[in-house]
Chains A and B, each alone.
Chain A
């Protein structure tokens, strides 16, 4: 009967389940619980938007895209003086970094299971480097740190660190894997971008404010390049988005014009989409932010304000649709503050099979 099917068979069935259904499968009986715990999701379901209040470190809002519901998770182990910078989306992890002028300390947190772990110290401790992530496969991820400032041991004078370091989640070690011209080290340090996109063998970072531009590190040739961002000095908000393995940029001027560009093979930008004007009215005035992941983009302000999502249609794989999502102003009947938030995307990982922790 269904109670005692071979574990690998049940795990195969469960690999097709969205997160809330998987969580419920875990409660049906012991055998299903054990199989669900060792399931590797196929990630066929839309990613979840995660909203972290910038001033309430232990709270984490998550939006279930299938049921269109908001939930509040408590983050128990996140230390003070850290802030979220990006995610390792396929593994369901949030990447945190230390704040202040101390050498960078990175850590990862799984908001659904409250597991938390510091990454080891960098080979070359530095302050304010750029941070990037590449996920090659479900069982491994790499974190990259580029640029930053280093204190020379003898003189105590600080200088820009023109190296790139990589953390391998399997060996759990940092290694120095590349270098850069000093101008890139300076720009990566000054702008300290935390969101990266890996496309066609290049790891891209974008400056965090106007005038937007992009720096890219070609992994195989070890060369750096610079790309201009379309309308880079007019855009008021912008973010990079991976789109079917290609690099895209979404950006806009407040309330009026939100466009999406995709980088072609010749490193030229093409406009591929324009946000419908009615949706844009939500973003007039005030600071709009955006964040992207393979399969979706979200434009947002504070937690209680309406958000706009541009996402792959569940039923028609090649179509993308614009949706608006109501913000979250109450949980279980209790009214909440309208927190300013940092928005991120990830795929919840309920299996304890992640060997990283």
Chain B
């Protein structure tokens, strides 16, 4: 759980570089005040709405109370299900969750990414994710031939 660091100066809210240390103050982290892992890693720009959702989730996921954690996960998944989150933003969040090692945050967003891959054709997936095909035509053919049942449409 992030620690609340008392300082002499009045805490300021700086919308450009949010600090995920705690929900009550937002201040520029000073090197000597950083005491826990997640506090030091600010979430990259993902838009104000998602940023709040992620910050709140990370806070609650550190709670000792299992009910709080479960409710937070459900709220997060609800949000993800109903909001359109752009592919670039998803990439940012997923990498961030991986970096701060928050398993529940990571799983929720990984599943959302999987939803974008599910049931789509190979060319569609490449287009959505901006993937460059680095197989030779022969290699790709051989791979398709390994599981022909997956490519029968």
Partners in one complex: yes
Does the CB pair A2–B91 fall under 8 Å? yes
Residues of B within 8 Å of A32, CB to CB, are 131
What CA separation (Å) do A29 and B143 show in the bound complex? Answer: 11
Chain B residue nearest to A113 in the complex (CB):
B146
Residue A64 interfacial (CB < 8 Å): yes
Q: Is A211 an interface residue (CB 8 A)?
A: no
Inter-chain contacts of A14 with B (CB < 8 A): 114
Check B151–A24 contact: CB distance below 8 A.
yes
Q: In the complex, are the beta carbons of A5 and B95 less than 8 A apart?
A: yes
Task: Give Cα distance in the complex from A26 to B147, angstroms.
Answer: 10
Of the stretches B1-9, B15-23, B61-69, B121-129, the one at the interface is B121-129
Q: Which residues of A contact B107 (CB under 8 A)?
A: 12
Bitwise, A22-59 to B at CB < 8 A (1) or not (0) is 01111111101100000000000000000000000000
Identify which of A23, A28, A73 contacts B133 (C-beta below 8 A). A28
Contact B110 A12 (CB under 8 A): yes
When A21-B119, A24-B122 are in contact, do A16 and B114 touch as well, CB less than 8 Å?
A: yes
**Is the beta-carbon distance between A27 and B140 smaller than 8 angstroms?**
yes
Alpha-carbon gap, A28 to B135, bound state (A): 8
Interface residues of B in 68-109 (CB under 8 A from A): 91, 94-95, 98, 106-107
Q: A3-B132, A17-B118 are in contact. Are A64 and B151 (CB under 8 A)?
A: no
- Given known contacts A2-B91, A17-B118, A20-B149, is B113 in contact with A26 (CB within 8 Å)? no
A109 within 8 A of B: no
Question: Could you tell me if A21 and B120 are in contact, using CB atoms closer than 8 angstroms?
Answer: yes
Give the docked Cα–Cα distance between A30 and B148 (Å). Answer: 19
For residue B117, CB closer than 8 A to chain A, the reply is yes
Q: Is the CB of A23 within 8 A of B147?
A: yes
Among B106, B120, B135, which residue has its beta carbon within 8 angstroms of that of A30? B135
A9 touches B150 (CB 8 A): no
Known interface pairs A2-B91, A24-B121, A26-B143. Does A71 touch B134 (Cβ–Cβ under 8 Å)?
Answer: no
Shortest C-beta distance, B9 to chain A (Å), equals: 38
User: How many pairs of A and B residues are in contact by the CB < 8 Å rule?
Assistant: 99
Residue of A whose beta carbon sits closest to that of B118: A21
CA distance in complex: A83, B22 (Å): 63
**Residues in A whose Cβ lies below 8 Å from that of B118:** 17-18, 21
The answer to whether A16 touches B111 (Cβ under 8 A) is: yes
Q: Say what secondary structure dominates the interface of chain B.
A: helix
Return chain A residues, CB-CB under 8 Å to B144.
27
Q: Residues of A within 8 Å of B, CB-based: how many?
A: 37
Complex CA distance for A33 and B134, rounded to whole angstroms: 11
A62 within 8 A of B: yes
Would you call A21 and B130 a contact (CB within 8 A)? no
Whether B32 is near chain A, meaning CB under 8 Å from some CB there, is no
**What residues of A have a CB within 8 angstroms of the CB of B110 in the complex?**
9, 12-13, 15-16
Residue of A nearest to B115 (CB): A16
Residues of B near A30 (CB, < 8 A) are: 134-135
- Docked CA distance A6–B152 (Å): 31
Determine whether the beta carbon of B106 is less than 8 Å from that of A12.
Answer: yes
**Which residue on A lies nearest to B116, using beta carbons?**
A13
Determine whether the beta carbon of B135 is less than 8 Å from that of A20.
no
Instruction: Evaluate whether A71 and B152 lie within 8 angstroms (CB atoms) in the complex, with A6-B98, A30-B135 already known.
Output: yes
- Docked Cα-Cα span, A6 to B147, in Å, equals 25
Q: Smallest CB–CB gap between A51 and chain B, Å?
A: 14
- Cα separation A92 to B122 with both chains bound (whole Å): 24
Smallest beta-carbon distance B148→chain A, Å: 8
B131 contacts A2, CB within 8 Å?
Answer: yes
CB distance from A270 to the nearest CB of B (A): 31
Closest Cβ–Cβ distance, residue B25 to chain A (whole Å): 31
Contacting residues, chain A, for B120 (C-beta < 8 A): 21, 24
Q: Are A73 and B149 in contact (CB under 8 A)?
A: yes
Contact present for A9 and B94 (CB under 8 Å):
yes
A25 to B149, Cβ gap below 8 A?
A: no
A-B CB contact pairs (8 Å), 21 listed: A2-B130, A3-B130, A5-B91, A6-B98, A9-B98, A9-B106, A12-B107, A13-B110, A13-B117, A17-B114, A19-B150, A20-B119, A20-B150, A24-B151, A28-B125, A28-B129, A28-B131, A32-B131, A62-B149, A73-B149, A112-B147
The 5 A-B residue pairs whose C-beta atoms are closest, nearest first, are A23-B150, A16-B114, A71-B149, A2-B129, A23-B147
With A2-B131, A28-B129 given, name 17 new contacts (CB 8 A): A9-B95, A13-B110, A13-B117, A16-B111, A17-B117, A19-B150, A21-B114, A23-B150, A24-B117, A24-B125, A24-B150, A29-B133, A30-B134, A64-B149, A71-B149, A73-B149, A112-B147
Residues of A within 8 A of B (CB): 1-3, 5-6, 8-9, 12-21, 23-30, 32-33, 62, 64, 66-67, 69, 71, 73, 112-113, 350
